[in-house]
Structures are given as C-alpha cells and as structure tokens.
Structure 1
Amino acid sequence: MTDDNPSENQNKLLVVWSSGDREVALSMVFMYVLNARKMGWWDEIVLLIWGPSAEVLAMDQDLHKPVKELIKHGVRVTACQSCAELFDVGDRLVRMGVHVDYMGEPLTRMLKDDWKVLTF
C-alpha cells in the first residue's frame, strides 16, 4: 500500500541527549541541532534532556549559552522531570528556559507518531 499523503510528522526530529559528557553536547548535539534548525532540515526539532545530561547542563555554565541559542532559534528544549528531580536541578533548568515535564507519555507519543529520533 502506498501513502499519497505522507505523515505530517515525517519531518520532525526528536534529539535525545542523555550523555553525561559535556563535549558530546558541545561538539555534536548543540552543533547539529542548531544547524538543522537554521538550515531548515527539519520542520520541527525537540531536544530532550534525559538522564545525566540534565545535571551536566544545569551545572555547567558553558552549556547555558548554546541552549539559549537553540531556544532562540525555535528548538523546543525540554527535560525529563524525573531526571531533574533525581539530580535536584529542575529550577536551574527552568530558569534557563528549558521546559521541564514528565516525559514518558510525550516520548511514547512521538515514537508512535513516527518522529525521527537521534540519540547522543
């Protein structure tokens, strides 16, 4: 069966950053996401901060500016509430402009809606 009307979600990207390595964020995650947004490679991009990356982001001042730049360019930056609570960094993330919420259901919905997923 062919689909003459491709899913509207086929051009949506979810980037899951779970690494606790700041260099992964600086040299891969932020660079790709920013360029993808600026160049229009994807209609919608969500950066999900998951696991140890929540603590790394909250505590490393050098990472704040690139994340704010992503937000400025229209990337939805969100963090897992459970992870933020685990590392006690929710308030810090919110002050940076990161949306903090429980992500189990939203993540499942994106996966079921055929978002493309890139993990770091």
Structure 2
Amino acid sequence: MKTKILLAILTTILFFDTTKIMGQQEKSENTPDKLVIVWTSDDPYLAERMVLMYAHAAKTAGWFKEVTVVIWGPSAKMVAENLKIQEKLKAMQKDRVEIQACIACATAYEVVDELKNLNFEVKGMGKPLSDYLKSGAKVITF
C-alpha cells in the first residue's frame, strides 16, 4: 500500500508540467542538470519499479546530464543481498549512472566489502549530499 501511494505521488509529480505554472517555458542555461536520488528503502519492488527504473531512464533518455544514486540506510543491506538489484545497478553504471553508498550505513549493516566489490563508491555522504543541495542539483528521496 505504501509503495503504491509513493508511486502514485511520484507519477503525478513527474507528469505534471510545473514549468508552465511557474512561467518558465524551457530549462534555462543556469538550471542544474544533475539528479541525485537518495535511496533509503529496502523494498525491492520500490527499487525495481521506481528508484532504479527512473534513475536509469533519466540518464539514458537524457532527462538529466548527470544522475547519481546514493545507497543510504536499509537499501545498503538489500543491495548487498539481492543479485537482481546488483545486476540492474551494474547495468546503470555501464550507462554512466554514478552509484554511491554511505559508509556509515554500510558499516552498520556490515556490507562495506560487498558494496566496494560491486565497484560502488562507498564514502561518507553527509558533506556530498549537502554539496548537492547547495549546488542546486535536483535531489529526491525514496
């Protein structure tokens, strides 16, 4: 139920053209072209049908020039244990989606080595997230 509600909300947000309401017809030259998805959910269905699907499409379809997925909290453990999710993340990396993971979370779930072995950048994420927010990057969470 919670997943369905989240998907409905996001679908509405994604397809509702807020630029016309705000009086902007096109993306200006100064608009950041970076999407950062902070992924905290350990729900594999949400991961497959929302987080990873949207992040991958945002990059491959050119909706954003740069796309970063940040594995944070319970998603770290799920990624370390779920081969299907790992395959999707590897495919995304091949298409230049950047995959990062929070070292504190990975340590808490005892999955640092697993995430590093997947070639994900595992590091402290507090400062990088703050920098993304300050830079004007589009940051969404799931």
Counterpart of 1:63 (choices 74, 85, 100) is 85
Cα distance in 2 for partners of 1:34, 1:112 equals: 24
Structure 2 residues not aligned, in runs of 5+: 1-27
Output the aligned Cα RMSD: 1.2
Offset from partner CA, 1:35-72 (integer Å, 9 cap, x none): 11111110101100000000000011121100001111
The Cα shift of 1:118 comes to 1.5
**For residue 11 of structure 2, what is the aligned residue in structure 1?**
none
What is the identity, as a one-letter code, of the residue corresponding to 1:58? A
Which residue of structure 2 aligns with residue 102 of structure 1?
Answer: 124
CA distance, structure 1, for counterparts of residue 33 and residue 103 of structure 2: 26
Larger-Rg structure = 2
Q: Which amino acid aligns with 1:106?
A: P
The 5 A counterparts of 1:1-120 are: 6-7=30-31, 10-120=32-142
Q: CA deviation at 1:5?
A: 5.6
Task: Report if the CA contact (8 A) 2:36-2:140 is conserved.
Answer: yes
How far is 1:22 from its partner?
0.9
Give the 3-state SS of the residue equivalent to 1:67 in structure 2: helix
Aligned residues: 115
TM-score w.r.t. length of structure 1: 0.92
